[in-house]
Amino acid sequence: MTQASVIITNIGQLLPMAGSGGAFDVVAHGAVWIEGGRVRYAGPADGLPPEAGGPVVDAGGRLATPGLVDAHTHLLYAGHRAQEVALRARGASYLEMLEAGGGILATVAATAAASDEEVRRATRRRLEEALAAGTTTLELKTGYGLTPEAEWRLLGLAEALKAEGPQRLVLTFLGAHALPASHAGDPARFLAEMAAVHPALVGRADFVDIFLEPGVFEADVAEQYLAHAQQQGLAVKVHVDELQDGGGAAVAARRRAQSADHCAYTSEAGIAALKAAGTVAVLLPGTAGYLHPEHMAPARQFLDQGVPIAIASDGNPGSSPTSCLGTLLPWAAAWLHLTPEEVWAAVTRGGAAAVGRGDVGTLAPGAWGDVVLWDTDDYRVPCHRYGTNLVHAVYIGGQGVVPPGR
Ligand code: NIG
Ligand code: FE
C-alpha cells in the first residue's frame, strides 16, 4: 500500500467523520495533511501545524471526505446476467430464476468457464469503476464457485487483486452462497463439505458469510455453519432477511456477527437483538431498489433503536449490477429516508465498522490518508444529484490514484 505525503489545502467543506457516536462536523476552509500514508491533521486550514510538509494540492474550494468504504460486494465473477432483465419484466422472481438454474448458478457456470486471467481482468475493471466513484476500501466476497475447490480458486484470485492494490480489500469467504444442483435437497451435506475448508481460511479470509434465506439456507443449518467457522477462530457476517423475514437477524445476533446484511424484512425483535449484540446492520438500497422497490429496510427504526448502520452497494451481477457505491448515495437518501449526514456516516465510518476496521472511513489523526475530492462545495450535493459521478480526485495513503478532473 502507498504511504505518501501530501497537503491538501483550499478545501471548501471538509467532512473528517472523526467524532464518535452521531457526531457530524463540517469544517469550512479546511486542510488535510497526510504524512507517510497516514492522516496527521484534518481541520481548519488556519490550524495546519507549521511543520506540515510534502507536495501541496489546491482543492479549489471543493468538498473533501474520507474514501468510501463499501462493506458488501460480490464483484469477483465472470459474465453478466442481462438476460434476467426481460425475465423479470415478465414476472420471474429472484428465487424462481435461481431455482431454475439461473441467477447465482448462471454466474457460477460463467465463472467456471472463464480462465483465471479473464476473471481477474473483469474484476479489476469493476474495482477501477468503484475507485473512480470514490470507493477506497471494499469488501470482496467469493461465492461464485460453490465447490470447495472453486471457492479456493476465487479466494486466491481475490488475494492477488488485494496484493495489487490500490484499494484496501477485505476478503469474505461465501462458499455458502447457494445450493448447487449436485446437492439438491441436502443443504446439510453441502454445508458440511464447505465447512471442511474453514480451518484453512484462518489468516487468509477476514470473514465467513452465508446466504441465510428461507428457500436457500434455513436458519438452523446456517447457524451451525457459522458456529463451526467461529470455532476455527474466523469472524462472521450473514446475509439475512433479504426477501422475507427468515429469523436471520436473531441468528446474526446470537453468533455476535460483525454484520447482518440486507435486513430488508427484519422485524422489531430482530432489530432489538442486533442492538443488544452490537452487530452492524449493512443496508443495501441498490438491491432492494432493483428487486423490490416497494419494500426497503426500516433504516429509521435501526437508527432510532441505536443499531449502527452501514450502507453498501452489494455490487453483483444479479440483484445489484453496479460497482459504484458513490453513485448510490441519492438513492440511499431517498429510499431509506435518510439525511445527507446519515448517509455520509453510513458509507464511511459505518462501512468501516461493518468490516471491523478502525483505520479507514475517517480522517481522524492516525487513520489512513484515503481522501475523495468531489466536484461540489456542498456535502449535500452527492446525496442529491444522481446519474453523474461527482468524484474529482481520489487519494489512497496520500497517493493520488484518480487524477484531478479524471
Ligand atoms: O446479496 N443474495 C445473495 N447474494 C447476492 C446476489 C448474488 C447474485 O444474484 O448473483 C445478494 O443479493
Ligand atoms: Fe450480497
pLDDT digits (tens, 9 = 90+) for 122-134: 999 999 999 999 9
User: CA 22 to CA 193: how far, in whole Å?
Assistant: 43
Structure confidence at residue 384 (pLDDT) = 98
Q: How far is the CA of 102 from the centre of ligand 1 (A)?
A: 12
Question: Which residues fall within 8 angstroms of residue 117, CB to CB, at 6 or more apart?
Answer: none
The whole model's pTM is what?
0.98
Residues 132 and 81 in one domain: yes
Say if residue 25 is in the same domain as residue 144.
no
For residue 379, give Cα distances in angstroms to 79, 243, 332. 36, 33, 15
In a shared domain, residues 190 and 323: yes
Q: What is the pLDDT along the chain (406 residues), one digit of tens a residue?
A: 789 999 999 999 999 999 766 689 999 999 999 999 999 999 999 999 999 999 999 999 999 999 999 999 999 999 999 999 999 999 999 999 999 889 999 999 999 999 999 999 999 999 999 999 999 999 999 999 999 999 999 999 999 999 999 999 999 999 999 999 999 999 999 999 999 999 999 999 999 999 999 999 999 999 999 999 999 999 999 999 999 999 999 999 999 999 999 999 999 999 999 999 999 999 999 999 999 999 999 999 999 999 999 999 999 999 999 999 999 999 999 999 999 999 999 999 999 999 999 999 999 999 999 999 999 999 999 999 999 999 999 999 999 999 998 7
Q: Are residues 159 and 23 both part of a single domain? A: no
Q: Is 261 in the pocket of ligand 1 (CB under 6 A)?
A: no
Q: Are 156 and 265 contained in the same domain?
A: yes
Mean pLDDT of the residues in the chain: 97
Q: Could you give the C-alpha distances from 161 to 138, 153, 157, 394, in angstroms and in order?
A: 12, 13, 6, 19
Total domains in the fold of the chain: 2
176/322 same-domain check: yes
Atom of ligand 1 nearest to the CA of 77: 10
Nearest partner of 373 among 184, 75, 148, 132, judged by Cα: 132
Domain containing residue 54: 6-66+361-402
84, 93, 104, 290: residue to mutate for ligand 1 pocket, most atoms within 8 A of CB: 104
pLDDT in tens, 141-194: 999 999 999 999 999 999 999 999 999 999 999 999 999 999 999 999 999 999
Q: Which is the closest atom of ligand 1 to the Cα of 72? A: 1
- Given a contact cutoff of 8 angstroms between Cβ atoms, the answer to whether 162 and 172 are in contact is no
* Strand-pair partners of 208: 173, 236
Is there a single domain that holds both residue 251 and residue 179?
Answer: yes
What is the DSSP code (8-state) at residue 183? G
Asked whether residue 44 falls in the same domain as residue 122, the answer is: no
Regarding whether 150 and 122 lie in a shared domain, the answer is yes
Same domain, yes or no: 395 and 259: no
Measured in Å, residue 314 CA sits from the centre of ligand 2 at 5
Q: What is the CATH number of the domain that holds 48?
A: 2.30.40.10
Give nearest CA residue, ligand 1 atom 3: 211
Q: Does residue 257 share a domain with residue 167?
A: yes
Q: Residue 197: which CATH number? A: 3.20.20.140
Strand 63-66 and strand 371-374: the pairing is antiparallel
**CB under 8 Å to 257, separation ≥6 — which residues?**
226, 235, 236, 237, 238, 277, 279
